[in-house]
Amino acid sequence: MALRLFNTLGRRLEVFQPVSESVVSVFTCGPSVYQRAHIGNFRTFLFEDILVRYLEYSGHRVERGMNFTDVEDKAIKEAKERNVEIQVLTQHNIEAFIREMETLRIRIPEYLPRASEAVDRAVDIIEQLLDRGIAYWHKGNVYFDPLKYPGFGELYGLDMNSWPRTKRRFHRDTYPGMRWNRGDFILWHGSRSEGEIFWDTKIGKGRPSWNIQDPSMIAQHFNETLSIYCGGFDNLIRHHDYSKAILESIRPYPMAKYWLHCYHLHVDGEKMSKSKGNVCYTDTLRGRGYAIDEIRFFLIYGHYRKNLNYSDKTMDRAAENLRAFKRKIRALDPAPNGKPDFDEGVYHMVKGLFSGKMDQDLDVKGAFDELHGFLTATEARHAQPRVSAGILKALMEIDEVLQVIF
């Protein structure tokens, strides 16, 4: 079977065919590092880790980028409230985020650009958009006119017939809630007063808005259509269509071939978010006695296109599920004396059970349940050493993707 992924662009399952056969280019929306990432954030980053690992498991070579949003309204506000330099705040959170990625066994991407390091590239893009009449100056800021880009909003499925013809401008980096700002969005914050964070550039003093930061960081490392672009489901409101419109306005090719979006982690039915005050962190769960592999398992055990609900009960259930699986593995009796002899038929069958579900849009839960059911049946038959060795060999390779078994 071939890997099939649900492409948000078009809203359909598609057989995965990378843009380049030599390397699969993947870019994922990274964190806004004004505060520490919580387990709701890490659900998306773990989904992306599974994606990259499974592509490699399937024989692809992958190059991945993930950005850090380290200069935007929320980071500036947070730094002022804490009375620290913004660079100190964001550097601390970036270092903590990378440590937590490693703790959760998330592979570190090859490229980790920061918005603060891509200002010149953002300015170059803005100049091109100004030259083409797609962007314009207004009271010291630069705005993007979505009506100048054919197909704006197609990723979300926006009905542009209802777009207002009266000029409206939205000047903030981000807005609360899951709503569309039906008007022109900001690309450049012009500097107006002392004490503001700004760069002195060829278009004047100011800073790039959040809306143009991702395109500028992508352009630093990838000069062709990305095979896959990923992010959280909430990025479908404004953010990803903004990025798509910006890059495709200056490039003669699509930004990405496949767009994948991970749904939210909820707490008792509500989205986990800093604004709601219902966040939970990795070390909170570790303090309650859960192991790292159990935390990782809970966050990947559920289809990425469905909301996952956290509660003490669901966390306990997931942890016990993994523990039961491991008990069955420990009951297997492989070939004695460490001999490499194993049953090849069983080995390929176990890998087939795994791939059969994973190829259906990365169905981690379905794949794990298939493996668990097989182990339960095998345990009842008291597997011979060669059979046990074949199972263990397959599971060790599978765990290069899951990172929770051994």
Residue 310 DSSP SS3: strand
- Mean pLDDT of the 87-91 span: 97
Q: Over 70: is that where the pLDDT of 351 sits?
A: yes
Q: Which two tokens stand for residue 12?
A: 């359909």
8-state DSSP, 68: B
Residue 177 has pLDDT above 90, yes or no: no
Question: Both ends of the chain: CA-CA distance in Å?
Answer: 27
Average of per-residue pLDDT values in the chain? 94
How sure is the predictor about 246, in pLDDT bands with cuts at 50, 70 and 90?
Answer: very high
Q: What local confidence, expressed as pLDDT, does residue 337 receive?
A: 59
- Compute φ and ψ for 139, nearest 5 degrees: 50, 45
Q: In this structure, which CATH number among 3.40.50.10190, 3.40.50.1100, 3.40.50.620, 3.40.50.460 belongs to the domain 18-262?
A: 3.40.50.620
Q: Is 176 exposed, middle or buried (0-12, 13-18, 19+ CB in 10 A)?
A: exposed
Confidence tier at 340 by pLDDT (50, 70, 90): low
Within a 10 A sphere around the Cβ of 180, how many other Cβ atoms? Answer: 14
**Distance (Å, whole) CA 45 – CA 43:** 6
Judge whether residue 200 has pLDDT over 70: yes
Least confident residue range of 32-41, 191-200, 315-324, 360-369: 191-200
Return the CA Rg of the chain: 23
What is the sign of the dihedral through the CA atoms of 128, 208, 107 and 347?
A: negative
Cβ distance 121 to 208 under 8 Å?
no
The C-alpha angle 186, 188, 191, rounded to 5 degrees, equals 125
At 176, is the pLDDT very low, low, confident or very high (cuts 50, 70, 90)? confident
User: What pLDDT was estimated at residue 339?
Assistant: 62
Please check the confidence at residue 273 and state whether its pLDDT lies above 80: no
Task: Give the pLDDT of residue 36.
Answer: 94
- What residue ranges do the domains of the chain occupy? 18-262, 331-400
Torsion of CA 376, 346, 367, 227, to 10 degrees: 170
Over the stretch 125-162, which tens digit does the pLDDT of each residue have?
A: 999 999 999 999 999 999 999 999 999 999 999 999 98
Q: What is the dihedral of CA 244, 250, 256, 257, to 10 degrees?
A: 120
Token digits for 220?
Answer: 């630093």
Q: What is the pTM of this model?
A: 0.94
pLDDT above 70 coverage of the chain, percent:
98
Burial degree of 300 (CB within 10 A; 0-12, 13-18, 19+)? buried
Q: What is the pLDDT of residues 276-318, one digit of tens each?
A: 778 899 999 999 999 999 999 999 999 999 999 999 999 999 9
